């Protein structure tokens, strides 16, 4: 298997690695392992980008083969490929990637709000279940949670 | 404190004890302890009713003082009072209590249905939260559950 | 068909009529018609109880045949039967019915709370749907409500 | 005010116009009007792109000033600006935009699933409210919907 970040500004490659890794391993690897493996790769790539003198605003595309062994992600660093597009040479590309990042931030805001609402929803469901338990306790001979 | 069952058919005193106990100790005693204490009292009363030759269709009214000590319910059996109204003497009363029981069964059915629906609701909330976690994983750099 | 209130204190017969009527006509008569028909019968019975000198604390049991015609409830007043048990003669019965009413009030409180919570739940669902519509508007080319 | 699509493949400018328009007019214009205004602009731009011989795979960036008058969006076509980047000249940019579109399709899928779940949630809330109405009808003297 192979992970490819697609084009992304150097400042954002780490999150891109993680997202793509989640998407392509979904259902086969535990989230914790995805987070760990992404962090490992990102540390490795970070050093390479430093050595190559890549700037935050440059665009990069990173690909690396990996395998899943016993639920663990194993990077095959030998096959790592890093493409760099300097901001000055690929001005439009860099500008486009910056726009994309901005839009992602708007998406994040909305998803956070959705999550907040849904957590309230879950809390509400719990409260209704508690009230029903009280109804059962005081008005019926139904089996109670305390008896389970 | 004192628990009184109110009028109830002998066949139904045990659940009535429990319900009333829940209602009057709510917030001060754990549900498990209410279930335990009700069971203890009911066993004691059961033997007394046997000795007294009470029939299932007779109406009884039971009261007993108790105290709460360290979260535990302690029955003061010395103050236990059992009134018995024989079905043949208090025909209307016995009939009325039977009606009440029937209505309670209808209430039970409806509460069970409500509980079923609410459990589905909780499950639905969990599924929505899972989907949101996926959205976060694949499209944002938001903090994930796996990182908590 | 026949409606019977079961035993009930004179002060509470009207609600009992309505409840029983809901239970036995469910699915065949619109709620509005149940409310209307109950009010009609209750007005009729009220006058009879006045004439009979029934007191609020007395226990009554009322039954009356009816038919459903074209979605309407038609009372057959000719078959109306009113039993009255004077408080002084049936002291225990009256006392028992009073207890029942008290417990119903506790049930009402809990159902009101449940309803309140569930209305909040519905509101929460609506808010989540709105947020999702915003996500669709700003981040996807999915069909929008405004296009339906 | 001014709408700018940012970089986008010519095949996708229409949806991009609509999304951006939603984002920048939120709260000030009805969704129906956003849909209408976007369609109007898109028709106009479509003809221009045809005349300019733009291909689907080319990247464009479109901006146009507008004003909101009486809840309506009015395009100032005089200020319309269309930039075109031919696929052959800006290969990386075109490739990047194609990737973005692919990722948007994945997002769409997940949002559709979320919406489906939330519609089920709303339905569930309605069912619980109905059940509660039945409880009120049959076991309490609470005010009913049919009485409102």
Give pLDDT tens digits for D102-121.
989 889 999 999 999 999 99
User: Quick one: which of B75, B87, B7 has its CA closest to C103?
Assistant: B7
Nearest Cα of chain C lies from the Cα of D115 at a distance, in angstroms, of: 7
- Of the residues B15, B17, B139, the best mutation for testing chain A's interface (the one with the most A CB atoms within 10 Å of its CB) is B139
- Say if CB D87 and CB D94 are below 8 A apart: yes
Q: Would an 8 Å CB–CB cutoff place C6 in contact with chain B? A: yes
What gap in Å lies between CA B137 and CA D36, rounded to an integer? 34
What gap in Å lies between CA D17 and CA D41, rounded to an integer? 8
Q: Which of B110, B128, B134 sits opposite D135 (nearest CB)?
A: B110
pLDDT < 70 regions, chain B: none
**Cβ within 8 Å of residue C84, ≥6 positions away:** C10, C52, C54, C58, C59, C60
Q: Which of C92, C107, C128 sits opposite B90 (nearest CB)?
A: C92
User: Quick one: which of A138, A139, A99, A82 has its CA closest to B31?
Assistant: A138
Q: Give C-chain residues touching D18 at CB under 8 angstroms.
A: 137, 141
Q: Would an 8 Å CB–CB cutoff place A119 in contact with chain D? A: no
Q: How many CA atoms lie within 13 A of A73 on its CB side?
A: 28
Q: Would an 8 Å CB–CB cutoff place C103 in contact with chain D? A: no
Q: Would an 8 Å CB–CB cutoff place A113 in contact with chain C? A: yes
User: Quick one: which of A74, A69, A76, A72 has its CA closest to A30?
Assistant: A72
Contact A128 C114 (CB under 8 A): yes
- Say if CB A20 and CB A37 are below 8 A apart: no
What gap in Å lies between CA A110 and CA D19, rounded to an integer? 14
What gap in Å lies between CA D7 and CA D62, rounded to an integer? 8
DSSP letter at A143? P
Q: Would an 8 Å CB–CB cutoff place C39 in contact with chain D? A: no
pLDDT given at position C10: 96
pLDDT given at position B23: 92
Distances (CA, A) of D77 to A47, D14, D126: 50, 16, 48
Contact C114 A107 (CB under 8 A): no
Ordered per-residue pLDDT tens for chain A, 148 residues? 999 999 999 999 999 999 999 999 998 999 999 999 999 999 999 999 999 999 999 999 999 999 999 999 999 999 999 999 999 999 999 999 999 999 898 899 999 999 999 999 999 999 999 999 998 888 887 888 888 7
User: Quick one: which of B17, B25, B22, B35 has its CA closest to B1?
Assistant: B25
Q: For residue A126, give the chain B residue with the closest CA.
A: B122
- Say if CB B30 and CB A137 are below 8 A apart: no
pLDDT < 70 regions, chain C: none
Q: Give C-chain residues touching A128 at CB under 8 angstroms.
A: 114, 117-118, 121
User: In this model, does residue D29 exceed pLDDT 90?
Assistant: yes
Enumerate helices (H) and strands (E) in chain C, giving the number of each.
3, 5
- Of the residues D103, D113, D137, the best mutation for testing chain B's interface (the one with the most B CB atoms within 10 Å of its CB) is D113
**Cβ within 8 Å of residue D5, ≥6 positions away:** D13, D16, D17, D20, D60, D61, D62, D63
Average per-residue pLDDT for chain D: 93
User: In this model, does residue D145 exceed pLDDT 90?
Assistant: no
Q: Would an 8 Å CB–CB cutoff place C61 in contact with chain D? A: no
Q: Give D-chain residues touching B138 at CB under 8 angstroms.
A: 106-107, 110
pLDDT given at position C144: 84
pLDDT given at position C86: 96
Q: How high is the ipTM of this complex?
A: 0.85
What gap in Å lies between CA C87 and CA B92, rounded to an integer? 13
D24-53 exposure pattern, b = at least 16 Cβ within 10 A, e = fewer: bbeeebebebbbebbeebbeebeeebeeee
What's the N-to-C CA distance of chain B in angstroms? 47
Q: Give D-chain residues touching B128 at CB under 8 angstroms.
A: 114, 117-118, 121
pLDDT given at position D147: 81
pLDDT given at position A20: 94
Cβ-Cβ contacts under 8 Å between A and B: the total is 113
Q: For residue B13, give the chain A residue with the closest CA.
A: A141
Give the tens place of pLDDT for each residue, D42-67.
999 999 999 999 999 999 999 999 99
Q: For residue D121, give the chain C residue with the closest CA.
A: C125
Q: Give C-chain residues touching A134 at CB under 8 angstroms.
A: 110
**Cβ within 8 Å of residue B16, ≥6 positions away:** B5, B6, B8
- The whole-model pTM stands at 0.86
Q: What is the mean pLDDT of residues D79-94?
A: 96
């Amino acid at each position: 298997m192979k992970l490819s970040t697609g084009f992304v500004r150097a400042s954002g490659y780490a999150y891109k690695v993680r997202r793509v890794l989640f998407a392509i391993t979904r259902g086969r690897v535990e989230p914790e392992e995805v987070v760990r493996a992404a962090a490992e790769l990102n540390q490795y790539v970070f050093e390479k980008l430093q050595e190559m003198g890549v700037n935050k605003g440059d665009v990069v595309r990173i690909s690396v083969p990996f395998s899943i062994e016993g639920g663990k992600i194993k990077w095959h660093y030998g096959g790592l490929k890093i493409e760099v597009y300097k901001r000055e040479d690929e001005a439009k590309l860099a500008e486009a990637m910056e726009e994309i990042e901005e839009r992602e931030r708007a998406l994040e805001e909305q998803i956070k709000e959705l999550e907040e609402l849904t957590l309230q929803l879950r809390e509400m469901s719990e409260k209704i279940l508690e009230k029903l338990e009280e109804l059962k306790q005081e008005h019926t001979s139904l089996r109670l949670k305390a008896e389970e």
